[in-house]
Amino acid sequence: MAEILNLLLVPIRQNLINSRDEEKRSVLSYAASIGYDEGVERLLQEFSNIAYVKDPDGFFPIHSACRRGHMGALQAILQSCPDTIELLNLQGQNVLHVAAECGKNEVVKYILGNEKYANLINQKDHKGNTPLHLATMFWYPMIVHILTQDERVNLGEQNKLGFTALDAAEEWMDLNPTFRERLTWMALVCVGTPRALKLMPYDSFLAPGPQEGIIQSNEMPSAKKYKDRVNTLLLLAILVATVAFSAAFSVTKVPEGETHWYKVFVVSNTIAMYSSVLTTVALIWAQLGDLVLILNVFKFVLPLLGIALISMSFAFLAGMLVVVGNQLWLSVLLLASGGVFLGMLFLLVVPFVCPYTSRPSFFRYVLRYPFYLLLMLIVWDDTDDDLE
């Protein structure tokens, strides 16, 4: 490709440098968007001014490189034209805004790692959003984690709606949050991101007020839609209660010297039983109520159901250790396998049962370690399909 490019750049054909593709992108923007690093370098050597040509969509070539996460093209542009780092698109977004909005981890790390780009970190676009706001609203937990770990990032910065990043997360989060949304919220809570407003994500769409017209993603849900979820949770709660009730009468004879595991079994099984019964009763009330009652019950029963599941698992492990008695190798095997399972269970349950409207000071230390483990296990797809 280098030979073809050199042929096209001869003086007689320099008019080609001003040509556009079908999306009206400049030659340099196209090269940067596809990651053609050698072409970017060669074009800038001959025509450095094209780094300042804006495409019809408002993006400069450096933005195109950041949107696609092409580090080579980004570095080539900055080496040839360092001041392009200050260029803004039509939304008033700098390169860090663009990288955060598109979920490009390496670009964000590169910009944060260069002290001379520090002025970009808390810069706001035309809507008052910082890169942290955009990473939050587009649900990129890894980007949010990278930004919040940098001491230069102002966690309490507010946009034009008066939202901090945590306010934005809780305002735009679905009524039944996805795993990705929960993980993004956890990234903010773990570092103690402040709130600027006392938001009511469950009720703001019910009563018109100052927030009316702000929420565009949360349309008015119907009670019928949530009745199916109530029935599913009710079935699970009844199942846990049944298992806990049956287990209470299963361990009848306690081997000598195993009383401590028996006590763990009794306590864990009792907690599982009562938690599941309370969950069942609350969900029965939810079936008889309207949408407001259903949503309020969800906030109460999800943590309770999580406690029931974890307690039942502890009770099972303790009961098995009581049954095997003094068989050391079998006890060690049970403890090892049970420890791995309980760790994975805790890891998967915590993001879904934590009430995301609770104060961060209470949950930040509880959520920190599950969040770090989830962040290590999950690698988000960084493809460009959503940019086409």
Q: What residue segments make up the domains of the chain, in order of their start?
A: 1-87, 105-118+127-201+360-381, 223-355
pLDDT for the residue numbered 224: 64
**CATH numeric code, 105-118+127-201+360-381:** 1.25.40
Which tokens sit at 148? 């919040």
Is the pTM of the predicted complex or chain greater than 0.75?
A: no
Which residues in 37-46 are b (16+ Cβ under 10 Å) and which e? Answer: bebbbbbbee
Query: What sign does the CA torsion over 35, 39, 45, 47 have?
Result: negative
Contact 345, 272 (CB under 8 A): no
Q: What is the mean pLDDT of residues 195-200?
A: 59
Helices (H), the chain: 2-8, 27-33, 37-46, 61-68, 71-80, 95-102, 105-112, 131-137, 141-148, 165-172, 179-189, 223-247, 259-288, 291-324, 328-353, 360-377
CA diameter of the chain:
96
User: Is 332 exposed, middle or buried (CB count within 10 Å of its CB: 0-12, 13-18, 19+)?
Assistant: exposed
Alpha carbon distance 34, 46 (integer Å): 20
* CA gap 2, 216 in Å, rounded: 48
CATH topology identical between 1-87 and 105-118+127-201+360-381: yes
Question: What mean pLDDT comes out for the span 218-230?
Answer: 62
Note whether 146 and 184 are within 8 A (CB): no
The residue ranking higher by pLDDT, 344 or 225, is 344
Q: Please check the confidence at residue 330 and state whether its pLDDT lies above 60.
A: yes
Query: What integer pLDDT is reported at residue 93 of this predicted model?
Result: 94
Token output for 157: 């910065």
Arithmetic mean of pLDDT, 244-258? 73
pLDDT cut 70: percent of the chain above it: 73
In the block, which residue shows the tokens 């230069």? 152
Indicate the residue type of 270: T
Helix (H) / strand (E) containing 29: helix 27-33
- Structure confidence at residue 225 (pLDDT): 63
Distances (CA, A) of 284 to 47, 101, 213, 281, 309: 71, 42, 34, 5, 19
Tokens read off for 15: 């008019």
- Residue pair 86/94 in contact by the 8 Å Cβ criterion: yes
pLDDT at 103 over 60: yes
Closest of 331, 384, 376, 273 to residue 35, by C-alpha? 384
Please name the residues in contact with 289: beta carbons below 8 A apart, sequence gap of 6 or more.
Answer: 297
- What DSSP assignment string belongs to 274-327? HHHHHHHHHHHHHHHS-HHHHHHHHHHHHHHHHHHHHHHHHHHHHHHHHHHTT-
Type of residue numbered 213:
G
CA-wise closest residue to 143 among 126, 124, 160, 130 = 130
Determine which of 84-98, 224-238, 340-354 has the lowest per-residue pLDDT on average: 340-354
Calpha distance 89→8 (Å, rounded)? 29
Q: Which residue has the tokens 């102002």?
A: 154
Residues whose CB is less than 8 angstroms from the CB of residue 162 and which lie 6 or more positions away in sequence, other chains included: 196, 197
Instruction: Say whether pLDDT at 228 is over 80.
Output: no
- Say yes or no to pLDDT of 307 above 60: yes
Rg of the chain in Å (alpha carbons): 27
Residues in the chain: 388
CATH architecture assigned to 1-87 = Alpha Horseshoe (1.25)
The helix (H) or strand (E) run that includes residue 101 is helix 95-102
Tens digits of per-residue pLDDT, 159-180?
A: 998 899 988 988 888 766 777 8
Rounded CA gap, 13 and 18, in Å? Answer: 10
